[in-house]
Structure 1
């Protein structure tokens, strides 16, 4: 199909999948359980970091991680005592273990003592026109700027400098940044433009995008995610990542 036909096809799929009915079976349901901005950020970040494997397992493990926080993650990370950390000592989700869990909580406490929103972690001194690559690299360096950070935890915070496609962090940013009236993405961050987002390139999105000739690069890495996003910008330069709904829906729901 030509570019206009492709746009019409994918726009229709966005309209079909970017709906509240998408929420319950997706990890985005986790931050939707909260209303306070900082709670949404923390819950969303955890759900995104856990987002590999079956969606049902991701949701269950996110609940398991957040439940000791008494439905107030922001308040918990600011005020937890050593005894409050006991539920996290045996936590495990795939390769994410108690060492990672405790460092995440340590980082959140340190960060939210200094900043009102996790958005600042992706802004720093970079300004509004910074590339997403520089934002993600900045966040990675910030996340591991605390003394004695565990090297094993690096694997859970993707970094384009390490050639990662950064699927999970790009998905988290889509949730926080994209703004529309459909009720799935939150749009609570205003200092990063939706046009600068990079499409989360998971297994299903990657497969469908290749079938639609939106990706030609053989491997799947950061440059692949950029290639896909640049091609999606030809369809909608202001909101290219809305097509994540179409590509993911086609892959998971329709086995396209």
Structure 2
């Protein structure tokens, strides 16, 4: 009978050995165990995403992945690929995001398949400009550097675009843009490297993204900023959070 004991040098992960306390789940067929692990680590849905820095540690490694090395090797990839993560780009939440990335490492962070950031700004969405978006991207880079990821981490951050326009969410993802730590090819549209955005999209270039029409919604790529009803931003000042 397999059982569990503490494993030294493995971050508190429990090692499975013989002649100790029984661990009944290991008596199940391996494929069923994997299904149980997947169910345990998939904690989000379209209506309830895993919020980063919402007063909980939901975005941290699930407890089941610390049971043993097998559970960890099966569970962690599923946790990052199957869950939907979100945060509002306040200073605290954004710094928490990059501290988390620094902790889990870029390799694991690059397996996150669904990460949406709520564009935190006091302006109504209809008043947000390309210049403000580029400032938002510099803010991300500053937070990444403050979290210990270095001044050039923007080279590892990608934002989703469609036909050279920023893609923003709709519905419960209204005002959210999609972020990744790898250049995806799995979704429609293109992924732009944050470190290159200022060079690619200069708001002072004549004729480039005139007015507010520099973004589209993911639900309809023909809708631009001037076509849509916008919502007011929150009143809280990001710099004072």
TM-score (norm 1): 0.25
Higher Cα Rg: structure 1 or 2?
2
Q: Which has the higher contact order (CA 8 A, sep 6+)?
A: 1
1 or 2, which has the higher strand percentage?
2
